[in-house]
């Protein structure tokens, strides 16, 4: 039996990022509900939700930037180009 042939076009790298963001949004919604259920103040729960949302947005931005950089590097945009990285003092 021959070995399985990998697909011509692998799944896009953005799919894991989407999954991570979905779980983060779920956490942003679930954590305040759990805090309120365990007797925390609604104001504190809202502040925690806002903090989690800010971290989620920052992480999403960093993940997207990383994916774009990886895609550019994979296409050969940085191969052999060391002159732009030299820092002159």
- What are phi and psi for residue 26, nearest 5 degrees? -60, -45
Read off the pLDDT of residues 15-44 as tens digits, 9 standing for 90 and up: 677 888 888 889 989 999 999 999 999 999
Higher per-residue pLDDT: 74 or 64: 64
DSSP class of residue 38? T
pLDDT category, 49, cuts 50, 70, 90? very high
User: Which of 18, 12, 15 lies closest to 60 in space, CA to CA?
Assistant: 18
For residue 81, is pLDDT > 80? Answer: no
At 55 the pLDDT is: 93
The domain limits of the chain are 14-71
State what percent of residues in the chain have pLDDT above 70: 66
Cβ atoms 73, 13 nearer than 8 A: no
């Amino acid at each position: 039996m021959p070995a399985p042939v990998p697909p011509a076009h692998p799944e896009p790298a953005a799919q894991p990022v989407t999954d991570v963001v979905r779980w983060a949004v779920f956490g942003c919604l679930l954590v305040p509900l759990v805090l309120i259920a365990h007797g925390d103040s609604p104001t504190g729960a809202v502040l925690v939700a806002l903090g989690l949302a800010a971290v989620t947005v920052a992480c999403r931005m960093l993940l997207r930037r990383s994916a774009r950089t990886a895609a550019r590097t994979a296409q050969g945009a940085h191969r052999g180009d060391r002159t732009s990285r030299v820092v002159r003092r």
